[in-house]
Chains A and B, each alone.
Chain A
Amino acid sequence: MNFDYAPAPESASIVDIRPSYGLFVDGEFTDPAEGRSFKTVNPATEEVLAEVAEAGAEDVNRAVAAARAAYDNVWGPMPGRERAKYLYRIARLIQERSRELAVLESIDNGKPIRESRDVDLPLVAAHFFYHAGWADKLAYAGFGPDPRPLGVAAQVIPWNFPLLMLAWKIAPALACGNTVVLKPAETTPLTALVFAEICQQADLPKGVVNIVTGAGETGRLLVEHDGVDKVAFTGSTEVGKQIARSVAGTRKKLTLELGGKAANVVFDDAPLDQAVEGVVNGIFFNQGHVCCAGSRLLVQESIAEELLDRLKARMATLRVGDPLDKNTDIGAINSAAQLEKIRMLSEIGEREGARRWSPPCELPQRGYWFAPTLFTGVAQSHRIAREEIFGPVLSVLTFRTPDEAVAKANNTPYGLSAGIWTEKGSRILWMAERLRAGVVWANTFNKFDPTSPFGGYKESGFGREGGRHGLEAYLNV
C-alpha cells in the first residue's frame, strides 16, 4: 500500500505580481529619485518575481517629510475613534484579501502555504483588529490619562515573517497616533507593497503609511534620519547594536527585537509525544527562520535516548519542498546568503565535534533548501550552541537537575524565549521565574497573540510588541 502524499498545490492564480514596483510615499506609488532597483526572487525556484525600487537618500527624505506632514496635519490631531475606524477597515481588507496575501508571502518568502495561510495572515488581521480597539482607549492603557504619540516612526523589519512583522510595527504605531515610514526586507518586499494598496483601498490619509523598499543602506538612511522620533527594528543583534549606537544621543525612542537562542527544556516527566511535537514546531516552524525558535533542546539525561528516538522518527515524516503545496512542512530557505550561513554553521558544528543527523530527504534541484538537521553531543562552547543559526538546525544538550537546566538555558547572551516541558505545574512556574527570557512557553511553543507582549531580555533587544505593554513603544511616556 502506498501512503505517499499526492501534490496538493495551492493555486498561484490569486496573486498578480507586477513586473516592477515603486516606492509608496505620500499615498502614491512613485519612482525612486535615483532610478535604482533590485530584484526579488522566489527562493523555491530562484526565478525573479519583480523589480523593486531601491530608495535612496532623497526618497527617504521625501517619505519622512510626508509622514511628518501627515502627523502634523491629519493623523496626530485626529480623534482616536476615527483612527480606530481606519485600522478596523485595514483589518477587514486584510481578512478579505488574506488568501492572496498568504500565497504571495509563500512565493516571495518560501514559507509553507499552510503556515502563511493558517498562522501569518490570521495573526496579521488580528493584530490590526486588536490595535484598532486601542486607538480610542489609550487613556485606559495605564500610561496616564492622555498619553501622546511620538511623531514619525522609522521601522525596519526582517524577511522571516514579512507581513506579520509589518503588522507588529504599523498597527500599534498608528493606533497610538504616529505616522510611519517602513522598510521591508530586501528579499521579501512584495506583501508590504500589497499592504500599501490596502491603505489606498481603506482611504487612509496620504502620508500616514509610507513604504520604502531597499537593502541595508536604505534602512540606515531611514533610522539615522533627523526627522524621525522613533526607531523600531526587528532583525539581527549585530544590526540592532549598530542602530542603538546610531540613535545614541538623539531624541529618538528605540525598540529592538533581535536574535535568540532559545532553550527548550524537557524534563523526565514530560508527555513525550507532546514534547516531540513542540520541539519540532519550535525549531522547524518557518524553516527555523524564527528569532524565538527553540534552537537548543535541553533534555533531562534519563529520557534523552527515548526522546531522541521519537524525535528522529518524527523528523523523518517532515515533508520538505514546494512552499505552495498544502502538505509541505518545511519550505525553502529564504535566500542563497541565508542558506550559505546555515551550511557554514552546520559544518562548523561537525568540525567542533558534534554529531550531525538528518532524515533521508530528497531536496528539489532548484531553489534554496536545507534538510531538517539535528546535532547531538553538543557542548555549550560549540558555536552551534551559542550562535543563532536561523535555520532548521537543532542542537541537543542534556542536563541532570533543574538547577543545571536553568544554568544552561540562561548561558547565552540572548533572552528572547524559552520552553518548558513537564507535567508538574509548580516546576513550570519555578523554571519560568528563573529563565531570563521575555517569553516562556510551557508545554507549548511558538504561540503568538496580539494581546500577549513579545520581546526579549539581554541582547535579544528591548521593548515589547503586542498587548497593553506594546503600546508604550509608541507613546511619549
Chain B
Amino acid sequence: MSTKAERGRLAVRKTYKLFIGGAFPRSESGRTYPVNDAKGRFLANVSQASRKDARDAVSAARKAFGGWSGRTPYNRGQILYRVAEMLEGRHAQFVDELRAAGLGRNAASDEVDAAVDRWVWYAGWADKLAAVAGSANPVAGPFFNVSTPEPTGVVAVVAPDSPLLGLVSVIAPVIVSGNTCVVVASEPAPLPAVTLAEVLATSDLPGGVVNILTGRRAELAPWLASHRDVNALDLAGIPADEAGPLEEAAAGNLKRVLRPAAVDWTADPGIGRMTAFQETKTVWHPVGV
C-alpha cells in the first residue's frame, strides 16, 4: 500500500490472511478474492474463507471461552486497554488503509482516532458492566438475592462496512464481558480487519478470543447462523431484508440475535451491544442463624 516505490525503493507487500486461534492461516480452501481501492486499483488478494475455516474459527473461539471469561474483569480491561495502545501505534497504517478504501486524509485520521477512543471506552466497561447491569434484589423473604450479567459464549459477528470504526464497535462490546467471537469482516473493505488482527495478536489478548474471517458474507453467514456451538449472532453487516433466513437458522439452537439496524458508528454507542450478549444469573441464598 505504501508509495515508497515512488521514492526509488520497492515496497514489501503484506499477505492478508485469516486470523484463527491467534494464528494467521490462509483459507484451507486455497481461495482468495481481489480487493481494489476506491479507484479500482488492485490492493491485495484476500483470503476467501470457507465453511471449514468458519468451523475452525468457532472451535478456536469455544476453546478460548473458558479462559477468557474466567479472567478477572480488571484483567480483561487491562488487555483491552493494551489493544487501544497498540491501535494508536498503528495509526498511520490504518489511515493508509482507510484512504485506500476511499476516505479523505482528514476523514481517515478522524476515523482512526474515533476507533481508538471507542476501544478505550469499551475497555473501561470491563469492570463496570456488572455494577450497571446487575442488581441486588429485595425479595420478600429471608433471602440474599443478587443478579449478575455473564457472557453468553461464542458470538458470531457479521461486521458492518464501516471498515475500522464499525468493526471495533462490534468486536469490543462482545469480548469486553468475556465472550469470544468469530467475525466476518467487511467484504469490500477487509484490509483494516486483517491489520486489526495483527494488533490483537500483539496485545496480550489470548489466541481464539477474536477470530477474523475475510470472504463472502453470503457464503459464511449461514454456516455461522446455523452452527450449533455458536451462542449468539450479531447481524450488524447484513442488509435488513436479508436477516430473516439467518434469524431462522439461528433459531435452531436459540441463538441470541442482534438484528441489523441503521447505526451511526460515530455516535455514543450506549451499552446495548454489550448487554445483547449477556446472560443474567440470579443467585438465591437463605439468611438465618
Using a CB–CB cutoff of 8 Å, the interface residues on chain A facing chain B are: 81, 84-85, 88, 126, 129-130, 132-134, 136-137, 140-142, 402, 425-427, 429-430, 433, 450-451, 467-468
A134 and B127 in contact (CB under 8 A), knowing A129-B81, A430-B288?
no
Closest to B82 in A: A92
A429 to B144, CA, bound (A): 7
Closest to B127 in A: A451
A102 to B289, CA, bound (A): 43
Contact B74 A134 (CB under 8 A): no
Contact A134 B124 (CB under 8 A): yes
Q: Provide 29 A-B residue pairs closer than 8 Å at the C-beta atoms, listed in order of the A residue.
A: A81-B120, A81-B121, A85-B120, A88-B81, A88-B120, A126-B74, A129-B81, A130-B127, A133-B77, A133-B128, A134-B128, A136-B121, A140-B132, A141-B132, A402-B289, A425-B285, A426-B286, A426-B287, A426-B288, A426-B289, A427-B288, A427-B289, A429-B285, A430-B289, A433-B287, A451-B73, A451-B74, A467-B131, A468-B131
A141 to B128, CA, bound (A): 9
CB distance from B63 to the nearest CB of A (A): 28
CB distance from B193 to the nearest CB of A (A): 24
Contact A129 B74 (CB under 8 A): yes
Using a CB–CB cutoff of 8 Å, the interface residues on chain B facing chain A are: 73-74, 77-78, 81, 117, 120-121, 123-128, 131-132, 144, 271, 285-289
Closest to B144 in A: A429
Contacts of A130 in B (CB 8 A): 74, 127-128
Contacts of B131 in A (CB 8 A): 451, 467-468
A282 to B117, CA, bound (A): 41
A394 to B138, CA, bound (A): 37
A429 and B287 in contact (CB under 8 A), knowing A129-B78, A133-B77, A467-B131?
yes
A443 to B103, CA, bound (A): 58
Chain A interface secondary structure, helix, strand, loop or mixed?
Answer: helix
Contact A132 B124 (CB under 8 A): yes
Contacts of A141 in B (CB 8 A): 132
CB distance from A354 to the nearest CB of B (A): 29
CB distance from B10 to the nearest CB of A (A): 39
| Extra A-B contacts (20), CB below 8 Å, given A426-B285, A426-B289, A429-B288 | A81-B121, A84-B120, A84-B121, A84-B124, A129-B78, A130-B128, A132-B124, A133-B77, A133-B127, A136-B124, A137-B121, A137-B125, A140-B132, A429-B285, A430-B289, A451-B74, A451-B127, A451-B128, A467-B131, A468-B128
Contacts of B73 in A (CB 8 A): 451
A430 to B74, CA, bound (A): 30
CB distance from B204 to the nearest CB of A (A): 14
Contact A137 B285 (CB under 8 A): no
Contacts of B271 in A (CB 8 A): 140
Contact B289 A133 (CB under 8 A): no
CB distance from B114 to the nearest CB of A (A): 10
Contacts of A450 in B (CB 8 A): 127
Contact A430 B81 (CB under 8 A): no
Closest to A126 in B: B74
Contacts of A133 in B (CB 8 A): 77, 123-128
CB distance from A124 to the nearest CB of B (A): 13
A450 to B72, CA, bound (A): 13
CB distance from A343 to the nearest CB of B (A): 40
A243 to B285, CA, bound (A): 42
A277 to B81, CA, bound (A): 36
CB distance from B188 to the nearest CB of A (A): 30
Contacts of B78 in A (CB 8 A): 129
A426 to B285, CA, bound (A): 7
A133 to B131, CA, bound (A): 13
Contacts of A433 in B (CB 8 A): 287
A325 to B51, CA, bound (A): 59
Contacts of A85 in B (CB 8 A): 117, 120
Contacts of B127 in A (CB 8 A): 130, 133, 450-451
CB distance from A302 to the nearest CB of B (A): 15
A426 to B144, CA, bound (A): 9
A425 to B143, CA, bound (A): 11
Contacts of A126 in B (CB 8 A): 74
What are the 3 A-B residue pairs with the smallest beta carbon separation, nearest first?
Answer: A133-B124, A429-B287, A426-B286
CB distance from B209 to the nearest CB of A (A): 20
Contacts of A88 in B (CB 8 A): 81, 120
Contacts of A451 in B (CB 8 A): 73-74, 127-128, 131
Contacts of B144 in A (CB 8 A): 429
Closest to B118 in A: A81
- Name which of A81, A88, A133, A433 has the most chain B CB atoms within 10 A of its CB: A133
Closest to A136 in B: B121
A136 to B271, CA, bound (A): 13
A88 to B117, CA, bound (A): 12
Contacts of B124 in A (CB 8 A): 84, 132-134, 136-137
Contacts of B117 in A (CB 8 A): 81, 85
CB distance from B37 to the nearest CB of A (A): 31
Closest to A422 in B: B289
Closest to B73 in A: A451
- Name which of A132, A134, A142, A450 has the most chain B CB atoms within 10 A of its CB: A132
A141 to B131, CA, bound (A): 9
Closest to B128 in A: A133
CB distance from A170 to the nearest CB of B (A): 17
A84 to B118, CA, bound (A): 12
CB distance from A91 to the nearest CB of B (A): 9
Closest to A82 in B: B117
Contacts of A132 in B (CB 8 A): 124
